[in-house]
Amino acid sequence: MEEFNGVRVIEEFEAMTKDAERVQTECLKKILEENGSVEYLKNLGLNGRTDPENYKACVPLVTYKELEPYIQRIVDGDSSPILTSNPITTFSLSSGTSEGKSKFIPFNNALMETSVQRSKTSFAFRNREFPVGKGKELQFTYRSKQVKTKGGLVAASYITNLYTSSLYKNKMKPIKSVFSSPDEVMLGKDFNQSLYCHLLCGLIFYNEIQVISAVFAQIVVYAFRTLEQVWEQLCADIRAGTVSHRITDPALRTAMSTTLLRSNPELAELICDKCKGLSSSNWGGLIPELFPNAKYIYAKMTGSMEAYLKKLRHYAGDVPLVSGDYGASEAKIGVNVNPKLPPELVTYVVLPDSGYFEFLPLLEKYYKTTESKPLGLTEVKVGEEYEMVVTNFAGLYRYRLGDVVKVMGFHNSSPEIKFVCRRNLILNINIDMHTEKDLQLAVEEASKVLAEEKLEVVDYTSLAGLSMEPGHYVIFWELSGEGSDEVLGECCNCLDQSFGDPAYAFSRKVNTIGALELRIVRGGTFQKILEHFIASGGSASQFKTPRCVTNQEVLQLLSSNVVKSYSSTTAFL
């Protein structure tokens, strides 16, 4: 097996990004040469042409809705070359938590190859700044359910497709960390049992842990919130050398029995003493205290994950936070080449050979598309915002991702972008329009009021309440404790004021938008949303709390757990 050479990987990346336009043209040519005879492209009259001009003239911009009839035929067992000449091997299955309906995203070996190559690029930059030696990685990774389609193909989360792929495992061996948890834990069927075992394995190998990781920062925070609750049982397991009765999965019990090997009362006492001290100081610096050799924490920390940075930093102490790359089930999009930057400042260099990318201009902050034609990778302008369009190796042609990005600069000739929001997750009632980022900033401002009662917002979401006239914003909060009516009423007013841009303020003034409502939900409500996500076929690794609820089952779950409600008394003059 060829040894991994990070210097060479970075040199190849630099050469590629210096000639991004040519690489993009070659990438499109490769995709179309491989798939020129497929039904979808033949029906559009492309006739084997592979240049960008004819491609854009013949092939329309599409969403999942337009491609769904073709994808459904593959799901149902049609093996003819409908979207790709290379067989679709699996589907990456979305949970439908945000939009109420699962999507089947085609996945094949060609897409797997690009994912592997770009994962190596990411690791090369990360390892240059934070080299790790012989040690272990505490990785909070979880599988999703694997379901068989009518046609016999497997559908699962993107992460599950990766971690169960022999191709991925073999290709990643040169850079793969030694994980503290056995494969059985990562592939366990029960999320809560797997999480407990991840924590137990991490503590057993506490002195060897060099990296702590997950796909999203939210999952790291959730893991250590759980540790706060179960540390005594974890210590008891280590002391006795047996696995807690809460682990009922036979595969997990067998794997953990092998990992534990023997009782270790000295280690149990050490961890117990550390946890007692941490619990008395609100668990600040938990990670370096329990894992003294941890060099960094790695997860996606941008976009909606920024909401968890305060808590993550609380746990992390002086351990660096390294933001993961920008990708989706449809494509690996960008890589973080400056891993030492604070997550709030991270940008992603678009990978010219990972897919063919276009950028659809948008109107100001309202995220309505203009009549302008999409721009190519090297045609975008610094400071402008765009919706991303991707053509990938697995049968998506000019596919609108729905992601809004802002161009922050260029790395050689490839743009550096920052994720802004999803176009379809925006609070809007009248002439107002607010993004996930607007909501995050409003919650951060209002949560400052909680400081006097030593409370924090565990998680939050929102709803454009249109069931009564006038419509109004509804914000759901789960808190770390019980707040007084006076303080929570003040929080509600602060939220309302934080949305006070001219459009919102005018609508409130003339009563076309009603008073904002803050609803407090029971502790554990957002865990139930996670469990709903998993039950719907998603992987906990890929869970992101929906910031604007449209799924009726999730809305019902929230509504049934409301314990207090407050309406803003703010007057907009």
- What percent of the chain stands above pLDDT 70? 94
In percent, how much of the chain has pLDDT > 90? Answer: 58
* 3-state class percentages of the chain: helix first, strand second, coil last, to nearest 5: 40, 20, 40
The beta strands (E) that lie in 224-328 are given as 296-300, 321-323, 326-328
Sheet holding 154-156, edge to edge: 104-107, 90-93, 154-156, 147-148
Q: Is the pLDDT of residue 201 over 80?
A: yes
Is residue 550 within 8 A of residue 509, CB to CB? The reply is no
pLDDT at 95 over 60: no
For the segment 415-444, the average pLDDT, to the nearest whole number, is 85
CA distances from 569 to 154, 163, 292, 572 (A): 53, 51, 49, 10
Can you say how many angstroms the Cα of residue 236 is from the centroid of all Cα atoms in its chain?
34
Q: What does the block give as tokens for 453?
A: 């009662």
10 Å Cβ neighbour count for 54? 15
> How far from 518 is each of 70, 310, 496, 522, CA to CA, in Å?
43, 22, 9, 13
Instruction: Read off the pTM.
Output: 0.90
Dihedral (Cα; 74, 80, 82, 87), 10-degree rounding: 70
Instruction: Please give the pLDDT value at position 430.
Output: 80
The three-state secondary structure class of 356 is strand
- Please compute the mean of the pLDDT values over residues 310-329 and round it to a whole number: 92
- Of residues 197 and 172, more confidence is placed in 197
Three-class DSSP category at 97:
coil
Domain ranges of the chain: 10-85+346-422, 131-145+159-319, 436-567
Q: pLDDT band for position 369 (50/70/90)?
A: low
CA distance 291 to 216: 20
**For residues 186 and 163, is the Cβ–Cβ distance under 8 A?**
yes
The pLDDT of residue 173: 62
Q: What confidence score (pLDDT) does residue 422 get?
A: 79
pLDDT of residue 177: 64
517 neighbors 473 (Cβ within 8 angstroms)? yes
Among 185-189, 266-270, 522-526, name the one with the lowest average pLDDT: 185-189
Rounded (10°) angle between helices 485-498 and 436-447: 140
**Distance of alpha carbon 534 from alpha carbon 192, whole angstroms:** 11
- Cα–Cα dist 36/46, whole Å: 8
Residue of 483 and 96 predicted with greater confidence:
483
Determine the distance from the C-alpha atom of residue 391 to the mean position of all C-alpha atoms in its chain, rounded to a whole number: 21
Average pLDDT for 5-19: 92
Name the residue with tokens 């009839």: 69
Amino acid letter, 31: I
CA atoms of 201 and 37, how far apart (whole Å): 50
Q: How far apart are CA 89 and CA 87, in angstroms?
A: 6
Q: What pLDDT is stored for residue 348 in this prediction?
A: 96
82 in Cβ contact with 135 (< 8 Å): no
Tokens of 518: 């803050």
Report DSSP state, residue 188.
-
DSSP string, 112-130: HHHHHHHHHHHHHHHHHHS
Q: What angle do CA 376, 381, 387 make, to 5 degrees?
A: 60
Name beta bridge partners: 348. Answer: 417
